[in-house]
């Protein structure tokens, strides 16, 4: 197939993931390689077409009837909370605090996590022992705040 025989789809949004990926690849390639204007256009068309095909395959796989509808947690939910750690239902990893783990590893918020696993709003996101330790430290750092609350209650 001739490189110029692959048409660049004009119905694609220039901000689409396929087009953005194609441009990034071509720009990186051109930093190391000298090409004519025709070669650049041809290269962009070809890479854009491949990117569209990859996205199409990914989209068709996500609609596959063989894909499980309900995800299975890595551990039973009732076993995911212990005094000194929590076990992430996504990957089974033992953590002291879920928020950072979920954000960095899965780009997931606590609300997303609770919704996905049908967890109650009071499901702990910090290991109980760590929560108690933080509470003690906070009371030691601000002993006057407890006195102020006590005086205002009188």
Residue 54 pLDDT: 81
The closest of 72, 103, 117, 70 to 95, measured between CA atoms, is 103
107-139, pLDDT tens digit by residue? 999 999 999 999 999 999 999 999 999 999 998
Cα distances (angstroms) measured from residue 69 to each of 54, 76, 116: 23, 18, 11
Residues 80 and 73 sit within 8 Å (Cβ to Cβ): yes
pLDDT at 98 over 80: yes
pLDDT tens track for 49-94: 888 888 776 665 554 443 445 678 989 999 999 999 999 999 999 9
Which residue pairs, CB below 8 angstroms and at least 24 apart, start in 7-13?
A: 7/45, 8/44, 8/45, 8/48, 8/49, 9/48, 9/52, 12/48, 12/52
- Give the pLDDT of residue 4: 47
Which pLDDT value is given to residue 153? 58
Range 77-145 classified under CATH 1.10.10.1550: yes
Q: Is residue 113 within 8 Å of 98, Cβ to Cβ?
A: yes
Q: Per-residue pLDDT tens for 8-40?
A: 444 456 667 888 888 888 888 888 888 898 988
Q: Where are the domains of the chain?
A: 3-62, 77-145
């Amino acid at each position: 197939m001739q490189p110029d025989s692959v048409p660049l789809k004009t119905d694609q949004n220039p901000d689409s993931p396929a087009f953005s990926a194609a441009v990034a690849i071509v720009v990186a390639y051109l930093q190391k390689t000298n090409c004519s204007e025709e070669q650049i256009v041809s290269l962009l068309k070809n890479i854009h077409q491949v990117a569209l095909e990859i996205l199409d395959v990914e989209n068709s796989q996500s609609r596959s009837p063989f894909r499980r509808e309900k995800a299975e947690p890595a551990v039973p939910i009732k076993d995911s909370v212990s005094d000194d750690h929590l076990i992430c239902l996504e990957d089974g990893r033992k953590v002291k605090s879920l928020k950072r783990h979920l954000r960095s590893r899965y780009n997931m918020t606590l609300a997303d996590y609770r919704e996905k696993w049908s967890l109650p709003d009071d499901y702990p996101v910090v290991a109980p022992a760590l929560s108690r330790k933080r509470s003690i430290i906070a009371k030691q750092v601000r002993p006057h705040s407890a006195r102020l609350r006590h005086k205002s209650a009188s």
